[in-house]
């Protein structure tokens, strides 16, 4: 029979190998934040034909006249996406009229101009909400698992579940830090939603495994804790994989057919779901065993 | 066992039919078939409104789309409150909101959303105007400070040259005063505040105006020369009230009576305060999303969603055979029911909201998988299908319950403490999880009982 608990250190190592580069990148490169967090403007200009070098140059010139610093310009077919500093609506109107003069029919498909305060608020609020939600989930698990027989304690279950969530969040954020540095992928407000979704999935997945451990602890007596945990993992592994596969298949269809707007959002979910499945099987449950073994050792010393 | 099961079956069938009726569009256009060389046809469908129309209960149950899907402009304004006494700031903000709403409605935009908020010691107004993508126009429309003015009938001695031409008069002034109306020197600056009070004799709600000292003097003069006549109160070039002056009012407070209901009196008070407590607004954030961009996103997401659903169905049937069909039926009922609730509340659907919905579909699928896996386990132990069903279901239930409650806790916290987008996510997730709990207990279970009768 497959013994996951025996090889738990190998699985922890795999987790670290995935997470550590991301964390390093987070400290070295940070995150490439979109204007929703930093403040600035993002304008999509649609031209009557494919964007020429000349058209792009006139856009640069028009921004220069208004004294607005351009961050990046991205070309896609007949559209230009310009990320730049904040601008007033008057500046925007002047820009458009001067571009219409030099380039003919130019349409402003989307325009966003964001002061720096708003993004910070969304992030800090979401951050505190997640902290509070985590605390409440630990509390709920502590209450719901209170009948778990010794040697386990329900607090251990709660904390291990949250550690698994932390694992998944770090995996996604870390990978996006790398993507941001090497492929210019930006973190926008949808990314926060993705992280929230990953947290939801991760807790959900971990609780299903823990529920099985709880049930087996109550029904089977006389077996070592590690064996019970291992059996519980094996009993739920088919369900975990089936559920994740369904989610992954749906996400892949979204990635293929869902269009540009949600591409990176779906990609973040994909990493999160894979990581969430991995962490509930290979991290959360084995962590319970590690904790338990530590308790045993301490008892022996005393 | 049989009684409740039959009853549940009927309930599920009814709920499904109603949801189906609510979710069906008025008509579908069929694509042109090249082989048959038919012309593109539109087929009218029977839906909730076809049935309710004859009895006059027609309802708008269309999805409410957020700006990222609908296209439109969103503007966040910061209100400068330094000049406003701190106990009147909430009133001032509410009045400014009211003024913006009037301006946008006057402009003929359907369903604008205008909210006030207080964050980080900032008073803010968030305006969302669907369909309008000209930010500059929108900002100039709503960003101005409200102007309150008072108009009276010009004394007949005044030469006609000094009277404003009728076209320059604010809307409604000509009707209540006549062509010879002129603006007085009394403005919103002279008004200290407006409040709803109750008439001591009749007990009716009335609106009380309190003037500043300069306002008291000006208002005294105006009322003295207009006894028996109408003085029109104008906000943003539209008459909001046209009270008749009964006697000269010199004390600096005046009451407008006139058979107001409490709500009407409050509305007048808010409008007057917009002039009395003028706040200047600055733009914190503005976004405009082109309608075509939103449409494309919706189109693509719909197609991806449909394919995704088919993938789930294929996967479940491959994995669980007959049970997979049960899961498909349960998921169809689940999806219909959730979409119905989205329409009826109505929930504003944004990209983030759709993400919440997708997560909840995943959770609903998982509930089915959990039940099926547990049933299989019991069957492998040699139990009968019927016994496996009951044991499997009750064993799976604690996982479903605990994991779903955890999701509800998360979405509850996010709903209370999150901002706009995060809240949209949490709301659809919470609704989805609650419906999936219901569908696991009732739909899947009842269907399974029918299959294993």
The full DSSP string for B58-80 is ----PPEEPHHHH-EEEEEEEEE
Domain boundaries B2-60+290-451, corresponding CATH code: 1.20.1640.10
Name A84's bridge partners: A41, A70
Given a contact cutoff of 8 angstroms between Cβ atoms, the answer to whether A59 and A122 are in contact is no
User: Does B144 touch chain A if contact means CB atoms closer than 8 Å?
Assistant: no
User: Does B120 touch chain A if contact means CB atoms closer than 8 Å?
Assistant: yes
Given a contact cutoff of 8 angstroms between Cβ atoms, the answer to whether B286 and B139 are in contact is yes
Structure tokens at B293: 């961009």
- Between CA B24 and CA B352 the distance in angstroms is 24
Does 3.30.1360.200 match the CATH number of domain B149-258? yes
Give the H or E element holding residue A114: strand A106-114
Backbone angles phi, psi at B231, to 5 degrees: -115, 120
CB contact under 8 A, A89 and B359: no
Backbone angles phi, psi at A288, to 5 degrees: -55, -40
Question: In this predicted structure, what is the pLDDT of residue A12?
Answer: 93
A 231-290 → B contacts, CB under 8 A: 235-236, 238-239, 242-243, 245-247, 249-250, 253-254, 256-259, 261-262, 265, 269
Structure tokens at B400: 């479903």
Given a contact cutoff of 8 angstroms between Cβ atoms, the answer to whether B212 and B190 are in contact is yes
Question: In this predicted structure, what is the pLDDT of residue B40?
Answer: 55
Q: How many CB atoms lie within 10 A of CB B350?
A: 24
Question: In this predicted structure, what is the pLDDT of residue A302?
Answer: 66
| Long-range own/partner contacts, residues A249-252 (CB < 8 A, 24 or more apart) | A249/B308, A249/B311, A249/B312, A249/B315, A250/B308, A250/B311, A250/B312, A250/B358, A250/B361, A250/B362
Given a contact cutoff of 8 angstroms between Cβ atoms, the answer to whether B76 and B138 are in contact is no
- Between CA B453 and CA B448 the distance in angstroms is 8
- Between CA A261 and CA A46 the distance in angstroms is 16
Which residues of A are less than 8 Å from B351 in CB distance?
190, 193, 261-262, 265
Q: What are A14-26's pLDDT values in tens digits?
A: 999 999 999 999 9
Given a contact cutoff of 8 angstroms between Cβ atoms, the answer to whether B335 and B283 are in contact is no
CB contact under 8 A, B410 and A245: no
Question: In this predicted structure, what is the pLDDT of residue B41?
Answer: 62
Q: Hey, of A137, A208, A218, A252, which one would you mutate to test binding to chain B, going by the most B CBs within 10 A of its CB?
A: A208
- Between CA B283 and CA A123 the distance in angstroms is 20
Q: What percent of chain A lies above the pLDDT cut of 70? A: 97
Residue carrying the six token digits 């973040």? A268
Question: In this predicted structure, what is the pLDDT of residue A114?
Answer: 81
- Between CA B245 and CA B17 the distance in angstroms is 61
Gyration radius of chain A over CA positions = 25
**Extended strands (E) in B98-248:** 113-119, 122-130, 148-153, 181-187, 191-198, 205-211, 232-235, 238-241
With a threshold of 0.90, does the pTM exceed it? no
Mean pLDDT of A255-283: 87
CB contact under 8 A, A196 and B425: yes
Q: What's the gap in Å between the CA of A253 and the closest CA on chain B?
A: 6
User: Does B301 touch chain A if contact means CB atoms closer than 8 Å?
Assistant: yes
User: Does B286 touch chain A if contact means CB atoms closer than 8 Å?
Assistant: yes
- Between CA B167 and CA A265 the distance in angstroms is 54
CB contact under 8 A, B406 and A203: yes
CB contact under 8 A, B407 and A113: no
Question: In this predicted structure, what is the pLDDT of residue A273?
Answer: 92
Backbone angles phi, psi at B78, to 5 degrees: -105, 130
ipTM > 0.95? no
Mean pLDDT of A47-76: 84
Q: What are A79-120's pLDDT values in tens digits?
A: 888 888 888 777 888 888 888 888 878 888 888 888 766 667
Structure tokens at A243: 């559920």
Domains of chain A: 8-34+117-301 (1.20.1640.10), 40-114 (3.30.70.260)
- Between CA A139 and CA A146 the distance in angstroms is 10
Q: What's the gap in Å between the CA of A137 and the closest CA on chain B?
A: 6
Question: In this predicted structure, what is the pLDDT of residue A260?
Answer: 73
Q: What percent of chain A lies above the pLDDT cut of 90? A: 26
User: Does A212 touch chain B if contact means CB atoms closer than 8 Å?
Assistant: yes
Helices (H), ranges, B321-384: 322-344, 351-380
Q: What are B175-192's pLDDT values in tens digits?
A: 878 777 888 888 888 888
Return the residue of B nearest to A136 by Cα: B409
What are the residue ranges spanned by the domains of chain B? 2-60+290-451, 149-258
Which residues of A are less than 8 Å from B125 in CB distance?
none
Dihedral sign (CA B255, B259, B260, B261):
positive
Q: How many CB atoms lie within 10 A of CB A159?
A: 18
Residue A44 has pLDDT above 80, yes or no: yes
B 355-384 → A contacts, CB under 8 A: 355-356, 358-359, 361-363, 365-366, 369-370, 373, 377
Q: What's the gap in Å between the CA of A185 and the closest CA on chain B?
A: 19
Closest CA to B411 of A157, A129, A115, A273: A129
Which residues of B are less than 8 Å from A265 in CB distance?
351, 355
Residue carrying the six token digits 């959730």? B338
User: Does B323 touch chain A if contact means CB atoms closer than 8 Å?
Assistant: no
Among B285, B352, B365, select the one facing A246 at the smallest CB separation.
B365
Reduced to 3 states (helix: H, G, I; strand: E, B; else coil), residue A5 is coil
What is the band of A171 on the pLDDT scale with cuts at 50, 70, 90? very high
User: Does B352 touch chain A if contact means CB atoms closer than 8 Å?
Assistant: yes
**Which residue ranges of chain B lie beneath pLDDT 70?**
1-5, 27-45, 48-61, 107-110, 156-167, 293
């Amino acid at each position: 029979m497959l013994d996951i608990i025996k090889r738990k250190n190998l699985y922890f190592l795999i987790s670290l190998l995935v997470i550590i580069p991301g964390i390093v990148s987070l400290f070295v490169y940070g995150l490439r934040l979109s204007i929703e967090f930093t403040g600035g403007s993002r304008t999509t200009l649609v031209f009557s034909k494919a964007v020429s070098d000349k058209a792009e140059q006139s856009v640069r010139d028009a921004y220069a006249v208004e004294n607005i610093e351009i961050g990046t310009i991205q070309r896609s077919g007949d559209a230009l996406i310009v990320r730049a500093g904040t601008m007033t609506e008057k500046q925007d109107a002047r820009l458009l009229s001067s571009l219409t003069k030099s380039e003919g029919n130019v349409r402003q498909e989307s325009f966003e101009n964001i002061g720096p305060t708003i993004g910070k608020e969304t992030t800090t609020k979401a951050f505190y909400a997640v902290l509070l939600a985590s605390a409440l989930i630990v509390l709920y698990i502590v209450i719901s698992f209170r009948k778990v027989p010794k040697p386990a304690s329900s607090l251990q279950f709660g904390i291990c579940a949250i550690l698994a969530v932390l694992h998944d969040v770090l995996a996604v954020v870390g990978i996006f830090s790398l993507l941001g540095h090497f492929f210019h992928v930006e973190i926008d407000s949808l990314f926060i939603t993705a992280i929230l979704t990953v947290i939801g999935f991760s807790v959900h997945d971990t609780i299903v495994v823990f529920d099985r451990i709880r049930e087996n602890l109550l029904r089977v007596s006389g077996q070592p804790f590690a064996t019970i945990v291992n059996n519980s993992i094996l009993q739920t592994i088919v369900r975990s994989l089936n559920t994740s596969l369904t989610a992954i298949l749906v996400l892949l269809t979204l990635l293929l057919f869902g269009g540009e707007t949600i591409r990176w959002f779906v990609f973040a979910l994909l990493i999160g779901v894979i990581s969430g499945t991995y962490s509930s099987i290979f991290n959360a449950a084995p962590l319970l065993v590690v904790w338990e073994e530590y308790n045993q050792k301490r008892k022996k010393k005393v | 066992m049989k009684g409740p099961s039959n009853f549940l079956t009927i309930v599920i069938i009814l709920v499904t039919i109603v949801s189906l009726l609510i979710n069906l569009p008025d008509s579908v256009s069929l694509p042109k078939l090249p082989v048959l060389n038919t012309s593109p046809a539109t087929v009218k469908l029977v839906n909730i409104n076809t049935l309710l129309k004859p009895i006059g209960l027609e309802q708008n149950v269309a999805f409410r789309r957020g700006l990222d899907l609908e296209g439109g402009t969103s503007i966040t304004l910061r209100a400068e409150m330094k000049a406003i006494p701190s106990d009147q700031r909430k009133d001032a903000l509410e009045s400014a909101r009211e003024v913006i709403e009037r301006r946008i409605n006057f402009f003929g935009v359907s369903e604008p959303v205008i909210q006030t908020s207080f964050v980080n010691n900032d008073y803010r107004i968030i305006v969302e105007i669907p369909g309008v993508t000209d930010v500059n126009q929108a900002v100039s429309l709503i960003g101005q400070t409200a102007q309150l003015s008072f108009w009276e009938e010009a004394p007949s001695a005044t030469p006609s040259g000094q009277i404003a031409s009728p076209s320059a008069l604010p809307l409604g002034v000509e009707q209540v005063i006549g062509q010879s109306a002129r603006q007085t020197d009394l403005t919103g600056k002279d008004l200290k505040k407006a409040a709803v009070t109750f008439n001591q004799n009749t007990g009716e709600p009335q609106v009380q105006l309190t003037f500043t000292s300069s306002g008291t003097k000006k208002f005294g003069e105006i009322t003295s020369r207009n006894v028996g006549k109408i003085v029109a109160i104008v906000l943003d070039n539209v008459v909001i009230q046209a009270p008749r002056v009964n006697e000269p009012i010199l004390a600096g407070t005046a009451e407008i009576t006139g058979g107001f209901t409490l709500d009407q009196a409050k509305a007048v008070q808010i409008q007057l305060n917009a002039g009395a407590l003028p706040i200047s607004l600055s733009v914190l954030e503005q976004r405009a999303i082109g309608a075509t961009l939103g449409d494309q996103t919706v189109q693509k997401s719909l197609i991806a969603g449909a394919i995704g659903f088919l993938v789930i169905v294929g996967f479940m049937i491959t994995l669980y055979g007959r049970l997979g069909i049960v899961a498909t039926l349960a998921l169809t009922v689940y999806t219909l029911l959730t979409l119905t609730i989205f329409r009826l509340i109505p929930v504003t659907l944004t990209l983030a909201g759709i993400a919440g919905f997708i997560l909840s579909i995943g959770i609903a699928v998982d509930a089915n998988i959990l039940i099926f896996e547990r049933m299989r386990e019991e069957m492998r132990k040699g139990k009968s299908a019927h016994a496996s069903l009951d044991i499997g279901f009750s064993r799976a239930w604690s996982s479903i319950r605990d994991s779903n409650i955890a999701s509800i806790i998360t979405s509850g916290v996010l709903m209370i403490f999150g901002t706009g987008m995060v809240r949209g996510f949490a709301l659809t997730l919470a609704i989805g999880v609650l419906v999936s709990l219901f569908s696991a207990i009732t739909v899947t279970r009842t269907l399974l009982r029918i299959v294993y009768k």
